[in-house]
Chains A and B, each alone.
Chain A
Amino acid sequence: MWERLPFSEYVVKAAVIVFGLTVLFDMFRQLTTGELTIALIASYLWRGLSYGLIIGLAGVGLSLTYDLLDFANFAHGDYITLSAFAGWGVAYLIAGFNQFKPGSLLFLGVGGAVYPRDVGVSVTSAPVAILFGLMVAALAGALLAIALDSAVYKSMRGAGNITLLIASVGVAFVLRYTAVYLFTQQTFGLTIDSWSYEVSLPGGTVTITSASVLLLFVSVFIMLGVHLLLTRTKLGKSMRAMAANQQLARVTGIPSEKIIRRTWLIGGALAGVAGFMIALLQGTINYQIGWTLLLLVFAGVIMGGIGSVYGAIVGGILVGLITRVSLIWIPASFTEATGFAVMILILLTRPAGIFGGDAA
């Protein structure tokens, strides 16, 4: 709508700064009294970073399609879920190849056919399986995104953002309950204990798991790749141009359907990676893992600014850090709520986010 008086913006910004300072102050206070230790803070930061990287990776795809096609893809969480199942099914298949029925392995031993301890998958004990699984997850995500675009969204290109949103909700539920159909509502254990590194810090130790290390490497690798893609390749430049102005891009001869397809491809692949990694990190998977992430992914994307890949990653990391570090003050049950509350606050004060252009 129209512009509002800047006065309230200043009030809110001042309030945020005051709040931030209070929080830091209290953190130092707790450190001195011993309620809080450096080790604990470090542990929260590390876990927050890991969680945040996953949210960030998932957010890239959401942010790109939100900007390009101007609709909030509520099915994105379920792209994450299904591609994670695909990736882990393959990982299990490879890891347990000659020992169990392929069908049971592919479906993660649903119904008690196979147990994690039998298959013995972890980063250190079955690296090939993990790596293959990761790639399959990325592939599955990409294919799923493109297939759904062709089947559902392509014929609705001009439909308006709310109609597309509602359609994506329909897609989300179809996908989620297809997962239920295939895998039931069971939560599957996936991994066995693996190598981890204990770092000694004042007040305790911080456990760095092999999964989180792998995640870090994979994320950096992917972020580098995406950065190169966006800045060095023709596709990347076209994507950025299209995001800025769709009609203009079409007129200047950049084929937009191709760009759209490739955007889905990238977004879907990253969703697959995010899904595989969150399952690896948690050690479990079920039909809701993507959905439970989705609102936080939205939070990250909104915080970072829709349309900005870097924004999505930074926003995701911020969300991850906020939800973990807030454990210092807020009971564990409410950490997600913290993320949502911050998102609502951002929407009210600076809907464009950190890297975003002009306001909504």
Chain B
Amino acid sequence: MSDLGGVDTQLLEVESLHKSFGGITALGGVTFEVESGTLTGLIGPNGAGKSTTFNIIGGMLQADSGAIQFGGEDITGESPDYIARKGLVRTFQMSREFQNMTVIENMMIAPTSQRGESAIQSITPGLREDVSEQEEDIFEKAWEMLELFDIDHLALENAGALSGGQRKLLELARALMLEPEMLLLDEPFAGVNPTLEKKLINRIERLRDKGQTFLLVEHDMDMIMDHCEQVIVMHQGDTLLTGTPEEVQSEERVIEAYLGENVE
């Protein structure tokens, strides 16, 4: 961990996370770093502890021990909403769009610090106009994003009526509305057709080029190896190794880990 006060390019630093459920150890000392402005992959066989790690980083679970630093700040033990507001946003493996709200509402709910989230501002005659002004901006942004993801024609549909792949797109689009510094993506392409997947990863790369950081959990090895600068490998609750795709692919331990499981 860099504490020299110099230029710190490690946006997310995870140190020695331990987590047990009952008698079962899910995480036994997970440690890794994610560099700012990268597209980093997190891979590992089923049961490696990837989702648990995401849950802990995102604040939904508390680690038994260990520390998490984001942008130099210690966020260990903070609440999920605090972490999201700090710029570290996650998506869910089982997409959690708001089923009874329209797609456009799902998008517009996302941005942080909306004036109108204060009841008083929304009610009071003069202040409500200011809220509406901001609503226009949010609407524009949401519409742009929907167009980017090709789901604008679904804007007035209830999110619950969308297909699986469309819901994944909405989940991603919605997360991006928060303009997060870093996005934790939990299998964002599951159920998405290959053409769309390619398009999406290109969009993500462009966002990465503009400075956003992505940590991606995926099972599509080709996708990870082709697009990620860094790959973190987890196995049985531990970080096996971190390296470039080439380094990881040739590492024997990784191959063994996967051969021990049924992998595609």
Contact = CB atoms under 8 A, between A and B. Distances in A.
A3 interface: yes
Contacts of A3: 61-62
Nearest to A3: B62
Nearest to B80: A2
A5 B61 CA distance: 10
A21 to B, nearest CB: 31
Interface string A1-39: 011010000000000000000000000000000000000
Contacts, number: 9
Contacts of A2: 59-62, 80
B61 to A, nearest CB: 6
Prevailing SS type, chain B contact patch = loop
Contacts of B77: 5
Interface in A166-185: none
B111 to A, nearest CB: 23
B182 to A, nearest CB: 20
Contacts of B80: 2
Interface in B45-64: 59-62
Contacts of B62: 2-3, 5
A244 to B, nearest CB: 15
A123 B60 CA distance: 59
Interface string A132-153: 0000000000000000000000
A196 B187 CA distance: 73
Nearest to B59: A2
A5 B59 CA distance: 12
Interface of A: 2-3, 5
Nearest first, the 9 A-B pairs at minimum CB distance are A2-B60, A3-B62, A2-B61, A3-B61, A5-B77, A2-B80, A2-B59, A5-B62, A2-B62
9 contacts: A2-B59, A2-B60, A2-B61, A2-B62, A2-B80, A3-B61, A3-B62, A5-B62, A5-B77
Given A3-B62, A5-B77, 7 more contacts: A2-B59, A2-B60, A2-B61, A2-B62, A2-B80, A3-B61, A5-B62
